[in-house]
């Protein structure tokens, strides 16, 4: 099996100058679609589940589905990742079901909605790093706050704070995290901008110059107009939904981003495909008749992402390292 910590996947991406998508999942069809895309493009991949997704699936079900993706694709480096863990307890539970990587979002309090302070973020992040590294599991953290809400997580319309580069450097040194999610103007959900996107590339450049670990962009779905039009064509109501242009994401990769989180775009592809079946074939009632096309639509979307991020073709660039390998690595530091 090629289950690896996200640290290895992202460090290799940093060396190679490409980005790696981290794709959120809730069910079997999403996982299959992502892995089909990874196999077709020969891309390393991060499959991630939020606390909400794990709760929806009763934890064990989704954990085993992600493990199945690893078993079925032994030649693809795969990281199983917890997205937006809110406490040490959430990280422990994710590691227990097999996650090789966890995110602790101490930029918000445990409710996942209220902005925290720097001291709180350091404290909770260090507790997760200590626990995870002892088991060979890599840790992502966040500093700064993004707008919007997705899967019940986010500050919504609360104050957005771009990441302070000097604070980011201090945070990395104090916590020992493996990757850092930063706020440069992206936002959770399908309604990211009022008008044109305006990412703070100057902030990204400064952070890249101060820290050496991989950098992560949350809220990075592009919300393609073609998908919005398809959803609305078949009865949806999503006026004004906007995302991060792919050109901005590619520029972010050039400036030093390695991990790009994608959730909303996958939801849109699935929704558009299902709505189309319901409208064009109202006699259909077998879930396979609409989940099958949804799976295909998502796979096609992910293939384009893997090519656009530059991930395609890098699955066999390096020998996968295990959790045991990283357990020894962390112990030697």
β partners of residue 83 = 50
Would you give the DSSP letter of residue 98?
T
Give dist(CA 179, CA 218) in Å, integer: 12
Cβ proximity of 34 and 21 under 8 Å: no
Annotated catalytic residue within 83, 164, 248, 308: 83
Spatial CA neighbour of 21 closest among 41, 40, 2, 47: 47
> Would you say 148 and 188 are in contact if contact means Cβ atoms under 8 Å apart?
yes
Contacts 24+ apart (CB under 8 A), 248-252: 248/197, 248/199, 249/19, 249/217, 249/220, 249/222, 249/308, 249/309, 250/308, 250/309, 251/201, 252/19, 252/184, 252/199, 252/201, 252/204, 252/217
DSSP for residue 112: S
CA dihedral angle for residue 298, residue 48, residue 148, residue 187, rounded to 10 degrees: -80
44 near 259, Cβ under 8 Å?
no
Residues in CB range of 172: below 8 A, 6 or more apart: 180, 211, 213
111 is catalytic: no
Burial 194-229 (b: 16+ CB within 10 A, else e): eeebebbeebbebbbeebebbbbbbbbbbbbeebbe
CA 289/CA 237 separation, integer angstroms: 23
Catalytic residues: 83
């Amino acid at each position: 099996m090629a289950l690896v910590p996200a640290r290895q996947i992202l460090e290799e991406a940093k060396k190679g100058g490409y980005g790696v998508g981290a794709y959120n999942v809730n069910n079997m069809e999403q996982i299959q679609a992502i892995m089909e895309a990874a196999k077709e493009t020969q891309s390393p991949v991060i499959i991630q589940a939020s606390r909400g997704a794990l709760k929806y699936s009763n934890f064990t079900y989704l954990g085993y589905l992600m493990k199945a993706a690893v078993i079925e694709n032994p030649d693809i480096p795969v990281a199983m990742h917890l997205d937006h863990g809110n406490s040490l307890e959430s990280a422990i539970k994710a590691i227990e079901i097999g996650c090789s990587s966890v995110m602790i979002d101490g930029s918000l309090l445990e409710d996942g909605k209220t902005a925290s302070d720097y001291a709180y973020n350091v404290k909770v992040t260090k507790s997760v790093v200590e626990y995870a590294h002892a088991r060979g599991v890599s840790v992502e953290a966040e500093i700064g706050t993004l707008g919007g809400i997705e899967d019940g997580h986010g500050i919504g319309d609360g104050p957005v704070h771009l990441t302070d580069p000097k604070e980011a450097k201090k945070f990395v040194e104090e916590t020992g995290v493996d990757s850092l999610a930063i706020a440069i103007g992206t936002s959770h959900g399908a309604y990211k901008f009022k008008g044109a996107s305006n990412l703070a590339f100057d902030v990204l450049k400064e952070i890249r110059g101060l820290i050496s670990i991989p950098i992560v962009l949350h809220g990075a779905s592009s919300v393609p107009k073609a998908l919005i039009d398809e959803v609305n064509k078949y009865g949806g109501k999503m006026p004004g939904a906007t995302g991060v242009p792919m050109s901005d994401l590619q520029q972010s990769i050039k400036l030093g981003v390695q991990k790009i989180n994608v959730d909303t775009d996958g939801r849109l592809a699935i929704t558009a495909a299902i709505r189309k079946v319901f409208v064009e074939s109202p006699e259909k009632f077998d879930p396979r008749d609409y989940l099958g096309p949804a799976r295909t639509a998502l796979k096609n979307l992910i293939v384009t992402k893997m090519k656009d991020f530059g991930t395609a073709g890098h699955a066999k660039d390096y020998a996968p390292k295990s959790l045991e390998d990283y357990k020894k690595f962390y112990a030697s530091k």
